[in-house]
């Protein structure tokens, strides 16, 4: 018997799951809101979804600033500290024009997906599944109605680095990934709202199917792979597809997003293999979304009829051609500077930056980061102008101009990734040099800063009465004592006593002893005043 639903009222801009930290908690208990469309009322899978973000909420969600930044504070920073702060530019996010369409397309794809499916209860045969590597039972399956029209998803197409993947990450952060519905008989059945499958370099369809299993494991919090292993050990693409179909129906998967599709090995993958993906969507009614370059999308779904079945095409790089919007992005990023003197944005700077980035947001952030790194590490006086910007682009991203002009091409997109990796390696090398330089400076400072009580004197005092400890043991014990705040202000005799106490805690080792008369115990204690140690500390 199904448990009666209770609806909650959410104020505008709020979600019924606001109490959860959805970035760290995948699995939540179902909480229902009234469906926006009359036909969807009573559909558990739809009414358990949060409403999509409003326009003003989209702007906030896709924005991320550098709140702790202060230009005044960087004057006191070391070179390394400045470079580490520059690295934080990669975490900054700006709202982009395609974000609103992406939000609507995703929510609509989920509605269409769950609208064309039927939940079937199976009470005479419990179905087992694994979540957090623990066995659970469920008594229902979500079947697609194959007589209905083919389900539509969306495709997010754009240049490499235009912000597609980060947009997907922000998009899904609004939705719980796994919703647990109460079946009314002390049991639950899961709804996996979305799966994101990251395509890997030179991957084939066998790897993509295994990627779906891996995404299911991650959604359920299975540290030990369960569903990825089931698909992996299944032989034949047809059998793997059937296994995936079974999982989609069992767990009520709403949408599968394939990210970075340009990394798929199209040369050795048969065209009809991609058609089988759409057949899977047609049978289960799961929505399919693809994210990548336009060339990759055209290769994945060669015929126009199959490309259309993926649904709405969202252009993720149209903003790159708008110079006015690019000027806005430059002004925003120049709010964070690590130059010796504040730099005002000029049309010369904007034009030069557009020339070396073609308006692509990731490339703008990367080039601007390198401009700051170059200014921090250079011993010469730097003038931030067009010549300097082109110098930085040539130094950190050699060959970028040849690639970026035709970045829509799949091969050039891969080459751009290689250029970016090389630039990251160069930046890492500079940061390592800064760390080493700072380390050498501290070593020299520490070597010239003499402690009030020297190791030499303490060791000499100890050797007068003990021959049980090596030089290295004495030095280690001395360093432990000197590092403690309790050693501050202590004289030589007190420090020596503290070192001896530290040494006496060491396990006894056989050490070749000097053949010299051993002082009596009373003499040793009187030299270091050990007999008064307990009294003085009480």
Where does the pLDDT of residue 273 fall: very low under 50, low under 70, confident under 90, or very high at 90 and above? low
CB atoms within 10 A of CB 58: 20
Cα–Cα distance, 99 to 55 (Å, whole number): 10
3-state secondary structure of 430: helix
Give residue 201's pLDDT: 80
Q: What is the mean pLDDT of residues 197-225?
A: 91
In this predicted model, which residue has the larger pLDDT, 197 or 411?
197
Q: Give domain limits for the chain.
A: 98-315, 323-445, 455-537
Give residue 102's pLDDT: 94
Cα–Cα distance, 45 to 194 (Å, whole number): 12
Q: What is the mean pLDDT of residues 267-277?
A: 65
In this predicted model, which residue has the larger pLDDT, 413 or 365?
365
3-state secondary structure of 291: strand
**Angle in degrees, CA 308, 312, 313, rounded to 5:** 90
Q: What is the mean pLDDT of residues 272-292?
A: 84
Give residue 203's pLDDT: 75
Alpha helices, DSSP H only, in 19-120?
44-47, 55-61, 71-74, 79-86, 99-115
Cα–Cα distance, 267 to 272 (Å, whole number): 13
Closest CA to 351 of 370, 365, 330: 330
Where does the pLDDT of residue 408 fall: very low under 50, low under 70, confident under 90, or very high at 90 and above? very low
Give residue 29's pLDDT: 95
The contacts of residue 208 (CB under 8 Å, 6+ apart) are 197, 199, 258, 264
Place of tokens 């004197």: 457
3-state secondary structure of 293: coil
Where does the pLDDT of residue 410 fall: very low under 50, low under 70, confident under 90, or very high at 90 and above? very low
Percent of the chain at pLDDT exceeding 70: 78
529 DSSP assignment: T
Q: Give Cα 75 distance to the centre of its chain.
A: 30
CB atoms within 10 A of CB 514: 9
3-state secondary structure of 479: helix
3-state secondary structure of 447: helix
297 DSSP assignment: H
What is the maximal distance between C-alpha atoms in the chain? 102
**Residues 165/291, Cβ–Cβ less than 8 Å:** yes
3-state secondary structure of 304: helix
Give residue 180's pLDDT: 95
* Token pair listed for 238: 């047809």
Cα–Cα distance, 86 to 97 (Å, whole number): 26
Give residue 352's pLDDT: 96
**Residues 502/480, Cβ–Cβ less than 8 Å:** yes
Where does the pLDDT of residue 246 fall: very low under 50, low under 70, confident under 90, or very high at 90 and above? very high
529's torsion region: left (phi>0), alpha (psi -120 to 50) or beta?
A: left
Kindly report, residue by residue over 315-365, the tens digit of the pLDDT. Answer: 998 999 899 999 999 999 999 999 999 999 999 999 999 999 999 999 999
Residue length of the chain: 538
In this predicted model, which residue has the larger pLDDT, 292 or 532?
292
Where does the pLDDT of residue 14 fall: very low under 50, low under 70, confident under 90, or very high at 90 and above? confident
As beta bridge partners, residue 131 has: 134
Where does the pLDDT of residue 77 fall: very low under 50, low under 70, confident under 90, or very high at 90 and above? very high
Q: Model pTM?
A: 0.76
3-state secondary structure of 202: coil
As beta bridge partners, residue 198 has: 259
Place of tokens 């659970």: 136
Task: Indicate if the pLDDT at residue 115 is higher than 80.
Answer: yes
* Token pair listed for 96: 């982009």
Cα–Cα distance, 32 to 170 (Å, whole number): 23
Give residue 1's pLDDT: 46
Task: Indicate if the pLDDT at residue 461 is higher than 80.
Answer: yes
Closest CA to 291 of 309, 272, 315: 315
Where does the pLDDT of residue 272 fall: very low under 50, low under 70, confident under 90, or very high at 90 and above? low
**Residues 194/255, Cβ–Cβ less than 8 Å:** yes
In this predicted model, which residue has the larger pLDDT, 538 or 223?
223
3-state secondary structure of 478: helix
CB atoms within 10 A of CB 389: 22
Give residue 537's pLDDT: 43
Kindly report, residue by residue over 420-451, the tens digit of the pLDDT. Answer: 666 666 666 666 666 566 655 655 555 555 56
Give residue 45's pLDDT: 96
**Residues 167/99, Cβ–Cβ less than 8 Å:** yes
Place of tokens 């639903």: 5
Second-level CATH architecture of 98-315: 3-Layer(aba) Sandwich (3.40)
């Amino acid at each position: 018997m199904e448990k009666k639903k209770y609806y909650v009222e959410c104020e505008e801009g709020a979600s019924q799951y606001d109490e959860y930290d959805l970035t760290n908690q995948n699995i939540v208990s179902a909480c229902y809101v009234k469906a926006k469309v009359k036909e969807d009322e009573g559909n558990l899978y739809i009414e358990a979804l949060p409403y999509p973000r409003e326009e003003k909420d989209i702007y906030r969600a896709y924005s991320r600033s550098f709140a702790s930044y202060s230009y005044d504070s960087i004057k006191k920073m070391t070179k390394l500290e400045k470079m580490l702060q520059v690295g934080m530019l990669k975490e900054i996010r700006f709202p982009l024009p395609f974000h609103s369409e992406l939000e609507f397309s995703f929510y609509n794809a989920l509605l269409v997906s769950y609208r064309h499916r039927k939940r079937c209860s199976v009470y005479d045969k419990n179905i087992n599944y694994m979540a957090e590597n623990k066995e659970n039972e469920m008594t229902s399956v979500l079947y697609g109605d194959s007589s209905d029209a083919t389900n539509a998803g969306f495709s997010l197409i754009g240049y490499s680095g235009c912000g597609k993947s980060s947009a997907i990450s922000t998009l899904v952060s609004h939705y719980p990934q796994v919703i647990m519905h109460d079946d009314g008989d002390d049991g639950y059945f899961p709804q996996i709202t979305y799966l994101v499958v990251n395509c890997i370099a030179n991957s084939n369809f066998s790897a993509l199917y295994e990627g779906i299993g891996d995404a299911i494991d991650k959604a359920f919090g299975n540290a030990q792979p369960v569903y990825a292993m089931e698909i992996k050990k299944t032989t034949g693409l047809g059998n793997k597809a059937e296994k995936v179909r079974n999982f989609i129906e069992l767990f009520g998967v709403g949408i599968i997003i394939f990210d970075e599709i340009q990394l798929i090995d199209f040369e050795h993958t048969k065209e009809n293999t991609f058609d089988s993906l759409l057949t899977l969507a047609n049978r289960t009614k799961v929505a399919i979304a693809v994210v990548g370059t336009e060339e990759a999308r055209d290769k994945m779904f060669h015929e126009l009829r199959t490309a259309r079945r993926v649904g709405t095409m969202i252009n993720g790089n149209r903003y790159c051609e708008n110079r006015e919007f690019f000027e806005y992005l430059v002004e925003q990023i120049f709010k964070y500077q690590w130059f010796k003197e504040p730099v005002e944005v000029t049309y010369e700077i904007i034009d030069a930056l557009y020339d070396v980035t073609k308006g692509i947001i990731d490339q703008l952030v990367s080039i601007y980061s390198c401009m700051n790194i170059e200014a921090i590490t250079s011993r010469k006086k730097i003038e931030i102008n067009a010549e300097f910007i082109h110098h930085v682009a040539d130094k950190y991203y050699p060959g970028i101009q040849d690639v970026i002009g035709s970045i829509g091409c799949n091969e050039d997109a891969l080459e751009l990734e290689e250029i970016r990796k090389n630039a990251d390696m160069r930046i890492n090398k500079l940061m390592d040099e800064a760390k080493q330089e700072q380390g050498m400076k501290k070593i020299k400072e520490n070597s010239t800063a003499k402690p009030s009580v020297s190791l030499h004197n303490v060791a000499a005092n100890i050797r007068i009465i003990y021959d049980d400890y090596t030089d290295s043991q004495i030095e280690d014990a001395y360093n432990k004592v000197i590092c403690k705040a309790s050693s501050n202000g202590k004289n030589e005799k007190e420090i020596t006593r503290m070192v001896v106490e530290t040494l006496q805690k060491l396990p006894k080792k056989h050490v070749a002893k000097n053949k010299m008369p051993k002082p009596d115990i009373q003499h040793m204690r009187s030299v270091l005043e050990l007999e008064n140690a307990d009294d003085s500390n009480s």
